[in-house]
């Protein structure tokens, strides 16, 4: 018990000291003299003399500085942690990494360690997200980790957004699409002429040379084929939009994960399900249906927001609440 208390006390002291140091750093203020910027502390002592054309506020104990179109970065003592020689420096990421641009190419540096984790070599370089960043070299895309290792080699013609919520990410090479997994390794081969992001555990794809749309799981296994004559959409809450007809005059309904049409294809347009409801359109006006296909808000509106307690519809040029607002008592009950 004594050891647990001691460890807790030690952790508190370390946290308090760190917080105090952070607060001290945050008290540094910019000042301007003869058209140049420097920094002073809370006692108005000069920490860094006025010598830059532009400076940022301090963040994580560091601040970007710029002079004659060259950028560097200093610490709270006014010493350079990145020399004043780059065309651009981004702000510090959650991983403590900045991107450095020089002569049109980009690299990555870890601020605290001072290690250049990836040389200045990339034509394009994105921010880190969950430990990975997308890069481009010789017009091919890849992904590096926070050690600068190419966990996904720069061989793809395109890599779709890695900063979204999906673990599986589409990649494209030679007009074929496949998927990389959360480790950024190719998990589903490049064999599709069409592919959507995974949604509700499934992805809508079309194999090269096939006219059939089908849904695959995250192993690449085909789970179901879309009904003939249907242009399907992503699954959301167990239902996928199903369109029939040409682009100028189609009808919309919904299928389930067995491929069965569960809401008749009779609407002029529809959106994916959200909070158990989908917006549907008839005769130019929008309303909502539930998962049984029952109309719960009549098609009266020129525009409509996704279904929620705060949903709004627009008619006669004005937006209006579609549901009664909650009473204060109800709100208090939810909070408690």
Least confident of 8-22, 44-58, 233-247, 252-266: 8-22
Q: Where are the domains of the chain?
A: 157-218, 226-336
Structure confidence by residue, pLDDT tens digits, 212-222: 999 999 999 99
Q: What HEC string does the chain produce?
A: CHHHHHHHHHHHHHHHHHHHHHHHHHCCEEEEECCEEEEECCCCCEEEEEEECEECCCECCEEEEEECCEEEEEECCCCEEEEEEECEECCCCCCCEEEEEECCEEEEEECCCCCEEEEEEECEECCCECCEEEEEECCEEEEEECCCCEEEEEEECEECCCCCCCCCEEEEECCEEEEECCCCCEEEEEEEEEECCCECCEEEEEECCCCCCEEECCCCCEEEECCCCCEEEEEECCEEEEEEEECCEEEEEEECCCCCEEEEEEECEECCCECCEEEEEECCEEEEEECCCCEEEEEEECEECCCCCCCEEEECCEEEECCCCCCHHHHHHHHC
pLDDT at 225 > cutoff 60: yes
Looking at per-residue confidence, does 224 or 167 come out higher? 224
- Determine which of 41-45, 285-289, 297-301 has the lowest per-residue pLDDT on average: 41-45
Mean pLDDT of 267-272: 96
Give domain 157-218's CATH number out of 3.40.50, 2.40.10, 1.10.3470, 1.10.287: 2.40.10
- Give me the pLDDT at residue 130, please: 87
Per-residue pLDDT, averaged over 300-311, amounts to: 96
Residue 14, classified by CB atoms within 10 Å of its CB into exposed (0-12), middle (13-18) or buried (19+), is exposed
Residue 9 confidence (pLDDT): 40
Task: Identify the residue with better confidence: 6 or 271.
Answer: 271
Predicted local confidence at residue 163, as pLDDT: 82
pTM for the whole structure: 0.77
Supply the pLDDT for residue 199.
94
């Amino acid at each position: 018990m004594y050891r647990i208390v001691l460890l807790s006390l030690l952790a508190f002291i370390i946290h308090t000291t760190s917080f105090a140091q952070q607060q001290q750093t945050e008290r540094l203020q910019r000042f301007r003299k003869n058209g140049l910027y420097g920094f002073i502390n809370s006692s108005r002592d000069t920490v860094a003399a006025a010598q830059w054309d532009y400076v940022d506020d301090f963040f994580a104990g560091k601040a970007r500085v710029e002079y004659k179109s060259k950028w560097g970065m200093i610490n709270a003592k006014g010493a350079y942690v990145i020399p004043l020689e780059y065309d651009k420096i981004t702000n510090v990421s959650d991983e403590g990494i900045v991107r450095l641009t020089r002569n049109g190419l980009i690299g990555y540096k870890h601020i605290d360690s001072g290690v250049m984790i990836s040389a200045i070599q990339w034509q394009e370089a994105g921010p880190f997200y969950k430990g990975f960043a997308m890069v481009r070299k010789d017009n091919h895309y890849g992904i590096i980790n926070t050690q600068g290792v190419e966990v996904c080699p720069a061989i793809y013609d395109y890599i779709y957004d890695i900063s979204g919520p999906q673990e599986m990410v589409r990649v494209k090479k030679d007009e074929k699409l496949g998927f990389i997994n959360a480790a950024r390794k190719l998990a589903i081969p490049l064999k599709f002429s069409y592919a959507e992001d995974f949604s509700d555990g499934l992805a809508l794809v079309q194999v090269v040379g096939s006219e059939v749309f089908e849904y695959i799981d995250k192993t690449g296994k085909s789970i179901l084929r879309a009904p003939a004559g249907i242009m399907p959409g992503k699954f959301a809450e167990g239902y996928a939009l199903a369109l029939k007809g040409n682009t100028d005059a189609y009808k919309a309904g919904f299928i389930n994960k067995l491929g069965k049409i569960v809401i008749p294809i009779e609407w002029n347009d529809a959106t994916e399900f959200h909070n158990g409801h989908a917006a549907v359109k008839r005769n130019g006006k929008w309303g909502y249906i539930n998962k049984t296909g029952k109309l719960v808000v009549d098609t009266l509106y020129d525009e409509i927001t996704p279904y929620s307690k705060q949903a709004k519809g627009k008619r006669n040029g004005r937006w209006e609440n579609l549901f009664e607002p909650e009473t204060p008592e109800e709100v208090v009950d939810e909070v408690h």
